[in-house]
Structure 1
């Protein structure tokens, strides 16, 4: 009953405030230190937009994390990767706050999590407490900052979402104080010929434009001589005052002769559309040069909801003899801005650089299913795996297949199937499908074995092969030795590793009872906290079993003493 009333309040509240009204005094900061950001909302990441803000924690772990308002814990997730240890708190005003990469939870929440982990005999868990079971009030301690999961350094990943849709919104819209009087930085500007007859500065390919800084801080680009339909792209970033991090832009606006033809901002987006980042950026350029260009125009497959205004998909049709002034303004949420003016002259010129189209024996029709039989290897691409039609490069040699290259973005999983008939049983038992990295080293792919076939599903183009792993994992004690007295030790730690297919599972027992060992794959460490259980024996017999992804297993045993 209480939960139903709570949900009804959320609906009424969100209807009342409207989609674009964000309460600026409803939440406190999650930390009691000045907020300095390592990452901003909507920042361009690999295959996704950043869904929160990353708050620096003074290069250390263990800072107290506080509830930003009254609420109740609705979800707790503990993962080896991703968000690591993450906490979700629903608030009565219709929002949910998210705290991720945590070191540990507050004592009450930690006890709840540990009970679930021991009940499920698993470090990785996802639990949904009953509504009201774990209540919090404003300013109450809920966790401590850490570096768990996919974090590359200590920080707090913080989000504010709609409780109903789980759509994340920019936390800085709620009045959090971040010092920012710094204008966004424009690194580079590009022009794109888009129609079949388009030419820009005698080129049918992307062209980088030179930039001149003006006295007022704006930029003036070199003149563009063009014909046909063209578009522009920018490489840029934003900074706050107290950090050198190159963060993402908040807003972009493009005008032609004073009329807005495209504008988008990062107030909010849905997780379902986040992979469409690969239609906003020039993915091919990223794959070659490791730099992201944000397009000021829309291309096929771009169904992003971030656009506020859009005319002709943000493209400019240039007519011979006509002159145009294009103005692109980059903004941050604090109101700082950077502007670039691009003079465009309609001038029909013969191209010196022709558009390069490499034709192969295989062609992708993006809106249809595509099957390819390469003999020992078969490929299946569902409809809309790709955003555009193109010639795909497919090559197969014995137990290896090359599926194009990483210059084309992939939206959906496709399937690679190897025919394993004729291979020896001993080979197949320890074999798996691997993707070869740039140094031709094999990375394990989840492999489905059915009859005489191995298959995998992936969203990465590249070279795949059948690899074999016959070497079991390695287990080594990290902070103790056999037969050692560990009375004053707070924890027990071991190193586990596997050089090829990777760790699939691990399990530990102490005197025959299952114990929780926290796995940190970034440093290959599993750790047991002695506070978890009261040991009733002086001599403790430890057993750890680690299994890799093809079933090779190693068992480690040791004894120690504790009083």
Structure 2
């Protein structure tokens, strides 16, 4: 019978997955009005936002409901990322995701906690079988929170198709009031290819815009020789929120004829890092502006484009005049437009782009190995999107591996020889990335003999650092010897001043107990209702270890009936 039910469920998944997006299948996952702090496809660091961030009235603990009937297909708890997350698979082939949760509903909480105690681990990933944890539409499954890499209380909500590709949830009938057109902060011109010039330069130029009416602007005429592409800095806002969200669609037209368009209906997680080929990456790194390019370069593999004549590149003929329109729109139909007069004109290059050159030329489609002082740098094939001259230097104890403004695809390996250090403490050394203001961040380091190595995507300055001091542990809401009979939780604060926290382990009366680590607050929390102890006096022992193996042990006695 179970096999028959499973086959029927899978058949229904296939059947429904072939239909258009259902408009009334999914209910709201919250019992409060949907007000968004983040939109689908929004530009984030190294990825597109894969769902909606729904405001929870600046608080945690709101009821989270199953958007439709289905079963729990995955539960994942991690310190970073999505924090506590639930994945529900539905009979129509879609999966909904609920992330940054404070805790789970009673049924799921009991199931998860049992598994955590079995594995003696807070971080856990579970894949219940179909039918093991079934849920009804509107059933309470969790409480909203701020766990993982969340910057404030909210619910991250996704809808994924049968291929696990996220789809814009606003296409499923959710109503979010939106009467405001996207705002255009700037439009930019790029001279593409050898010999192309815009207004006597082959550098990126910002167009001067004049407001025509509420949502339409006219740019000053630009004079072009050769081929150009456009870029736009823009954001969108929903009603009842001040958050700057991503726009849904960007398109360009030449003399009224569409030639380029991308939109955020869906994408795959495998391509998300290619966001760095959509944006003008050096400008983002150096000026924190996310300019979205309205043309496609050869190494861009994004699938978001619905129109790409000549990959969005516009060739301008001498003596010809054109009007290029750039339109930015949202799903509610609000549109902002920039009209750009263009005249083809042969012209002298007066302000040429500066191009860095060195003896180290990296070819992206092959492995590359470089030596710099006592360091070796190994870039595997496709570490980068394109070929370029690499800036490698050793200045004193600092190894420079190019600059931050080149986007990376894959990890590379940096190795540094420690032949001159004191071998007695060699296990306490690690490779650290040094920020511009001197802040050191630990890079996951491994050692073979006297050589330290790390695999990283970070570029910039690196040093070898030494950490011999263990983490610090202090009680937060109790004191040694205190009665905690009326307490719900027991909390500690743990910190490390250099290499960072790697692991922790807690016992009460020599029995492992579950403690929840919240890195944003540097806190460890134990739920005092987890275990019923027979005696009234209890010994708490917590061991915290940093990334190079320094450990600190904290012990305290508490009393509880």
Q: Would you say same fold, with TM above 0.5?
A: yes
Instruction: For residues 379-424 of structure 1, give each alpha carbon's deviation from its aligned partner in whole angstroms, at most 9, with x where no partner exists.
Output: 1111121112111100124643101111111111111011223422
* CA distance in 1 between partners of 2:213 and 2:463 (Å): 57
The runs of at least 4 consecutive aligned structure 1 residues that moved more than 3 Å come to: 2-5
Q: 1:123 touches 1:516 (CA, 8 Å); kept in 2?
A: yes
Counterparts of 1:50-449 in structure 2 under 5 Å? 50-162=49-161, 164-215=162-213, 217-397=215-395, 399-449=397-447
Equivalent residues, number: 558
Instruction: For residues 268-291 of structure 1, give each alpha carbon's deviation from its aligned partner in whole angstroms, at most 9, with x where no partner exists.
Output: 000000000000000011111111
Counterparts of 1:461-472 in structure 2 under 5 Å? 461-472=459-470
Aligned-partner SS, 2:178: coil
- Aligned residues: CA RMSD: 1.0
**Equivalent position to 1:526, from 516, 524, 527:** 524
TM-score computed with the length of structure 1 as normaliser: 0.98
- Tell me whether 1:5 sits opposite 2:8 in the alignment: yes
Q: 2:17 touches 2:94 (CA, 8 Å); kept in 1?
A: no
- Tell me whether 1:504 sits opposite 2:502 in the alignment: yes
* CA distance in 2 between partners of 1:540 and 1:286 (Å): 54
- Tell me whether 1:556 sits opposite 2:559 in the alignment: no
| Residue 195 of structure 1, CA deviation | 1.2
Q: 2:537 touches 2:560 (CA, 8 Å); kept in 1?
A: yes
Aligned-partner SS, 1:532: coil
Q: 1:76 touches 1:127 (CA, 8 Å); kept in 2?
A: yes
* CA distance in 2 between partners of 1:378 and 1:300 (Å): 30
* CA distance in 2 between partners of 1:216 and 1:234 (Å): 18
Instruction: For residues 229-279 of structure 1, give each alpha carbon's deviation from its aligned partner in whole angstroms, at most 9, with x where no partner exists.
Output: 101000000000110111001001111112211101100000000000000
* CA distance in 1 between partners of 2:532 and 2:128 (Å): 26
Aligned-partner SS, 2:193: coil
* CA distance in 1 between partners of 2:426 and 2:258 (Å): 60
| Residue 449 of structure 1, CA deviation | 1.1
Aligned-partner SS, 1:197: strand
* CA distance in 2 between partners of 1:14 and 1:122 (Å): 36
Q: 2:362 touches 2:389 (CA, 8 Å); kept in 1?
A: yes
| Residue 12 of structure 1, CA deviation | 2.6
Unaligned runs of 5+ in 1: none
| Residue 435 of structure 1, CA deviation | 0.6
TM-score computed with the length of structure 2 as normaliser: 0.98
* CA distance in 2 between partners of 1:267 and 1:260 (Å): 19
